[in-house]
Structure 1
């Protein structure tokens, strides 16, 4: 749902600066938080977003997100205190968080406009539309050609604006990346699809719980990723992802709904989009453009988690852009990827290995779910997720997990109970 301030954003460009310090293309979590930070520090910021599309997203964020990025608690539509991992055989392992925290659930239909409103309140100007072209001339600011979207206010027309720097936060199919980077510069994708449905008034507790995220590892649902059933308060997100061409994601989602007892629930909306699963090797063009969020591929392998990483990438980008504007040193833009990967690269590497090893067949998925029953695995998994780093406490627990992991790899599936 679009907010009133978004649909009535100023259509006139008459009072805009002749040259913006920065144009942020894309008003999802990454772009909106970057625009807010820069505007709050006195930079002239243009935030461009079409406002007419909701990204397919499970909506999970660790509880620390609220404190780290000053997110108001009313943005949470649900709080999950457990995850149930389901194997191809139907075997299920419930992983409860305990007292360590919770997984917050947000609905992107309200969460993204909330972040864009925050940016506007900080002083960012907004244009409800799309980037069509960027013209670069030596010694001059970048010239951007914009066109209004169907959600633009009446009278909002095409616009030509100039900006010293551009932040591309416009998603996996980034126009900024396409216009300013080599065609070879793009992350690897899976395609994600989900359906937002009404939560039944009295759901069957054996198949669905309002405080639990279900994650389904089954080649019939996804041959290379996973399916999910995530609570959203009065709604539920049910979906799956796959990079395999020809895999019927809509049919798989129907199977998930039936298994969860949600097949007769009213469907509110359906959404699909590519989901990057590996950060790009370079996020800046060395001069005046920086990519962040899905445009740069900052979605965690294996889990597909992206909101927290998008928000943090947006703040890192804002700091680097401010430094570049202040000093004239374009090298500041390179620090964003370096700082992000220093903080999260180890997690991304481990999750990438996990996906490559355990997602490659149903036999391995079955072993993976068995491994998730281990108390050490559960504790370390939740600590790493909630703290957003690989915990270094209790090295003996890590050793035990490694040895059990190795045992699972070497034990034939037929011998496992």
Structure 2
């Protein structure tokens, strides 16, 4: 009998399993072997600090972000007093899973099939990868950390089958030391409807390699062609392709993360990817941590209502950030004209400083109220076309 079975071994599931094991709970983690999620790999300094990530996992430190508009206007934003850390998911995820195992979690490799309940209790059934046989694990609680189109969420939590998402696709390539339009110390974010009609494209350095990709929720978009076009624009079309990956990325946190009985969701399964930016690793790991906290509270008190703590704890700290980013995406991603205005707005020094202070610290910065007021007025001016989109 396990206290908790964690379904999914990405950053969210591995974090939940590690936290539970370190607190003395008997925990199992089920993960499909070999899957690598398409991801730019960017992590903020706060993640490195909060989750004790060693330098060996940081394959690059980025000090500049470049925003590129539909007309190819480029705005370089220096990252002052900090950096964006880059990880490679093919190494980072196994590192987190191994750390959970070292903490005492029992790790199984296989595919989740279903949850069964009977007079003897709750069981998680999965197909073991090596034997091909069905295995049943008895458990008190379940954490569903099985991705954007979560089978656990769909079966157990209201609204779990209706999470909006974009499809992300990227190619990991061998990268040159530098190039005409490529800088190994700079992340490029491309806001261009020719690349993505509703999201963005990216070129994110990973040291000796690079992630080039894009996301969209619009049917019929050729993701591979868009990525090929990005490689050409960055001068990376002749670089060796190491791997190609695609997967859905959710765009909105679910209104409910638990089933009021024995299941709580975390990470992409709960929809916790930041709107506008698509950032997910930090929020996934935090989602795993609050899910573990909620599960531990439920085990301690016997109150299933304590499973609600996961969403409450997460939203207490990040609801405002998600609300602002969601409004930004709704305002600026709907047309190339709006995207052009958004990149124009990024010229503003106050926008640049507050954006990266919020990114690195994962909270809205309230220390400069006049800067917030100025940004609000400039934002309104751009949206109402009171300023020209070509004005810097």
Q: TM-score, normalised by structure 1?
A: 0.91
Q: Do the aligned partners of 1:171 and 1:293 also contact (CA within 8 Å) in 2? A: yes
- Partner deviation per Cα, 1:366-417 (whole Å, 9 max, x = no partner): 1100100100000000111111011001101111111111121222676634
Q: Distance in 1 between matches of 2:160 and 2:193?
A: 30
Which residue number corresponds to residue 15 of structure 1? none
Name the Cα RMSD after superposition.
1.4
1:76-225 maps to which residues of 2 (within 5 A)? 76-98=58-80, 100-137=81-118, 140-149=120-129, 152=130, 155=131, 157-182=133-158, 185-200=161-176, 202-204=177-179, 206-225=180-199
Give the SS at the match of 1:240: strand
Q: Distance in 2 between matches of 1:333 and 1:254?
A: 44
Structure 1 moving runs of 4+ over 6 Å: none
User: How far off is 1:203 after superposition?
Assistant: 2.8
Of residues 274, 287, 292, the one that matches 2:266 is: 292
Q: Distance in 1 between matches of 2:374 and 2:159?
A: 44
User: How far off is 1:231 after superposition?
Assistant: 0.4
Q: Distance in 2 between matches of 1:43 and 1:277?
A: 32
User: How far off is 1:179 after superposition?
Assistant: 2.6
- Partner deviation per Cα, 1:131-167 (whole Å, 9 max, x = no partner): 11111236x4311211023xx4xx5743111111000
User: How far off is 1:51 after superposition?
Assistant: 1.6
Q: Distance in 2 between matches of 1:271 and 1:304?
A: 16
Q: Do the aligned partners of 2:159 and 2:254 also contact (CA within 8 Å) in 1? A: no
**Unmatched 5+ stretches in structure 2:** none
User: How far off is 1:184 after superposition?
Assistant: 5.7
Of residues 345, 348, 351, the one that matches 1:374 is: 348
Indicate yes or no: 2:31 matched with 1:23: no
Aligned length: 391
- Partner deviation per Cα, 1:188-237 (whole Å, 9 max, x = no partner): 1011000000012x431x40111110000000000000000000111100
Q: Distance in 1 between matches of 2:154 and 2:372?
A: 42
Q: Do the aligned partners of 1:22 and 1:165 also contact (CA within 8 Å) in 2? A: yes
- Partner deviation per Cα, 1:30-69 (whole Å, 9 max, x = no partner): 1101101111121111100012210000110101211101
Of residues 217, 230, 237, the one that matches 1:243 is: 217
- Partner deviation per Cα, 1:266-310 (whole Å, 9 max, x = no partner): 000000011001000000000000010000000000000010011
**Unmatched 5+ stretches in structure 1:** 1-18
